[in-house]
Structure 1
Amino acid sequence: MAKTVSFGVMHVSVAFTLVWLMTGDIVLGGAVALIEPVVNTFAYYFHEKYWAARKQRQQGRQTETVHVA
Structure 2
Amino acid sequence: MTKTLSFAAVHFSVAFGVGYLMTGSIWVGGAMALVEPAINTVAYHLHEKVWKRIRGRDPAGRGPLAA
| Ranges of 4+ aligned residues in structure 1 off by more than 4 Å | none
In structure 2, runs of 5+ residues without a counterpart are: 61-67
Indicate the residue corresponding to 2:51 in structure 1: 51
TM-score normalized by structure 2? 0.57
TM-score normalized by structure 1? 0.56
How many residues align? The count is: 56
Cα deviation 1:22-48 (Å, max 9, x = unaligned): 233332211011123321221122111
In structure 1, runs of 5+ residues without a counterpart are: 61-69
Larger radius of gyration: 1
- Which is richer in helix? 1
Q: Percent identity?
A: 46
The root-mean-square deviation of aligned C-alpha atoms, in Å, is 2.9
